[in-house]
Amino acid sequence: MESQDRSAGLARLLASVRLDSLLDVVSALNEGLIVLDPQLRIVTMNPAAEALLGRPAGELTGSPVCRLFGEAACPRDVLEETLRSGEPIIDYQTTIDLGGGRRGHVVLRSAPLRGRGGGDLGLALLLGDVTEVTDLRKLMTGRDHFGRLVGRDQRMRELYALISDVAGSEATVLIRGESGTGKELVARALHDNSARAAGPFVAVNCSALSEQLLESELFGHVRGAFTGAVADRRGRFAEAGGGTIFLDEIGDVSPVVQVKLLRVLQERVVERVGDGKSVPVDVRVVSATHRDLETLMATGRLREDFYYRIKVVTLRVPPLRERREDIPLLAAHILERFARRDGLPAAPALGESALALLMAHSWPGNVRELENALDHALVLSRGGPLTAAHLPPELRDAARTAGPSRKPQAHSEDERELLARVLRETNWHRTRAARQLGMDRSTLWRKIREYGLKPEAQPGGRT
C-alpha cells in the first residue's frame, strides 16, 4: 500500500511538471540514459550517456543497441525479456565501447516505457560506469603485481617485462630511481625469478657505513686487522654465496672500495681485510642508486671502469608522481598489509576526500612517503574510514598552498586546456579525470559540453 501511494503521488507530480523541467532532470543525471524503441534501436540519450560513450546522440540514433556492446556482451536476451514481461533489469554488468576507443564496464538498469494508451514504446536504459572499480578488483588478484611490486602503469608493466627478461641471466644489474621508489623490491624480484632463488638474498646499504667498516662488511676481516677486530669475520659476499648480493646506494661508495669491488666483479674473488688470500665467491651482484652517476664520474668521484662494470643492464623505477593512476591500487595494497599487521578484520575504507588529496600530492618521497602517510592516517582513524583530516598535516598544507596556482579561472581558455590535457592523460576516463581535477563527474561532463571537448580520432577512424 505504501509503495502504491508513493507511485500515485509521483504520478500526480509528474503530470503537473512542465516538460522542459523533466528534460532538465534527465540532463542532470550522473548516469547515462539511453532510450530504445521496441526493436532495441537507439532513439535518444542524455548528455551523461554521450560523455560516457564519447559520441553524440545524433551519431547513434537508429543504431541497434548491441552495436555499443558487441554481440558477445550485448544483453539482448534480458532486454527482450523486459519488453515481454515488463520486469526491469537490476544491476546487470557487462562490457561496452566507451569514448577514446576504450572497452569499459557498465552496470545496467532498465524500465519499460508505456504509452498513454498502454502500448509498448520501448525501454529506458540506465548505464553506470564501473570500469575503474572492476579494473581495480581485477588488479588486486595479482595480475598487475610482480613479486612485491604493485602497479598497472605502462612504465611498471615495461619494468616487469625487463625483470622477467633479465632475471634468468647472470648479468650485473644497476637499478636506478629516486629514494622510496622500491629499488630493493626490484632487486628481490630479480633474485626470486632467477636460478639463484633458492640461495640467500643479502642486502647492504653502502651509504650507512664508513669506508673501513664497509670494506669489513662486504669482504670480511681477520682477527687483528684493525682496532676492534677481535675475531675473524666472513663478509657479506661470502654470506651471499650461491645467491644474490644487493648493494644499495652504490653511488656513495668511496674510490678505494670501488677498486676492490671492481676486482670482485671482474675476477669473482674477495680478499678479507688484513688477509692477502683471495677467496672465490659465487654471487650475482645487483646494485642501486638514486644519484646521478654520470655527474659523479665527471667530477672524479666515480671511476669510469667501475661505472661501466656495474651497469651491464640498467633498470629504471619510475617515481610515483609519474604513475599517479597507480595510487588507488597502491593505497589499497598498503592498507591491506597494515590491516594484517595490526590484526584488523579488514582494511579500512579510503574516503574520497583522502583519495583526492593522495592523487593531488607530488610525492617527493614516493611509495615510502605514501606508506608513511597511510600509516599516520590509520592511527588517527582508529579503524574507521580514512578521510583527508587523518592524513599528515604537510599533505593538507601542501594542497592548500598549491591549490590556487593549480586551479585556473572558471570558463577560461586555461581551464579548457587543463581539462583537455587531463582527459588525454587519463584516456578520457571521466571518473579518473574528475578525481584528478578535484571535481565531481557531473561538473566535468557539464564542462566537457561547455567547451565542446571530444576524444581525439584514433587510427581507423574511431573516436
Domain ranges of the chain: 2-129, 169-317, 322-451
**pLDDT range class, residue 406, cuts 50, 70, 90:** very low
Task: Answer for the pair 161, 146: CB distance below 8 angstroms, yes or no.
Answer: no
Average pLDDT over residues 139-143: 46
Q: Which CATH architecture has domain 2-129?
A: 2-Layer Sandwich (3.30)
Beta-carbon count within 10 A of 41 CB:
17
Model confidence pLDDT, tens digit, residues 297-343: 999 999 999 999 999 999 999 999 989 889 999 999 999 999 999 88
Beta-carbon count within 10 A of 38 CB:
14
Identify which of 67, 52, 32, 12 has the alpha carbon closest to the alpha carbon of residue 429.
52
Say which DSSP state 324 is in.
Answer: G
Q: Which CATH architecture has domain 169-317?
A: 3-Layer(aba) Sandwich (3.40)
**pLDDT range class, residue 460, cuts 50, 70, 90:** very low
Identify which has the larger pLDDT, 277 or 172. Answer: 172
Question: Is the pTM of the predicted complex or chain greater than 0.75?
Answer: no
Residues 6+ apart with CB under 8 A from 77: none
Residue 342 in grid coordinates: 595490526
Q: Which fold has domain 322-451?
A: Helicase, Ruva Protein; domain 3 (1.10.8)
Model confidence pLDDT, tens digit, residues 31-40: 888 999 989 9
Average pLDDT over residues 105-134: 79
The per-residue pLDDT of the chain, averaged, comes to 83
Per-residue confidence (pLDDT) for residue 135, from 0 to 100: 56
Task: Answer for the pair 368, 180: CB distance below 8 angstroms, yes or no.
Answer: yes
Burial class (CB in 10 A: 0-12, 13-18, 19+), 29: middle
Residues 6+ apart with CB under 8 A from 282: 241, 242, 268
Model confidence pLDDT, tens digit, residues 142-196: 457 888 999 988 889 899 999 999 998 999 999 999 999 999 999 999 999 999 9
Average pLDDT over residues 236-251: 95
**pLDDT range class, residue 440, cuts 50, 70, 90:** low
Model confidence pLDDT, tens digit, residues 50-91: 888 888 888 889 999 888 888 777 888 778 878 888 877 776
Model confidence pLDDT, tens digit, residues 2-29: 545 545 555 565 556 555 655 666 666 6
Average pLDDT over residues 385-404: 75
Per-residue confidence (pLDDT) for residue 76, from 0 to 100: 82
* pLDDT above 90 for 421: no
DSSP per-residue codes, 397-446: HHHHHHHHHHSPPTTSHHHHHHHHHHHHHTTT-HHHHHHHHTS-HHHHHH
Model confidence pLDDT, tens digit, residues 360-387: 888 989 999 999 999 999 999 887 889 9
Cross-sheet strand order for the sheet of 313-316: 201-205, 244-248, 284-289, 173-176, 313-316
**In DSSP terms, which residues pair with 273 in a beta bridge?**
221
Per-residue confidence (pLDDT) for residue 24, from 0 to 100: 62
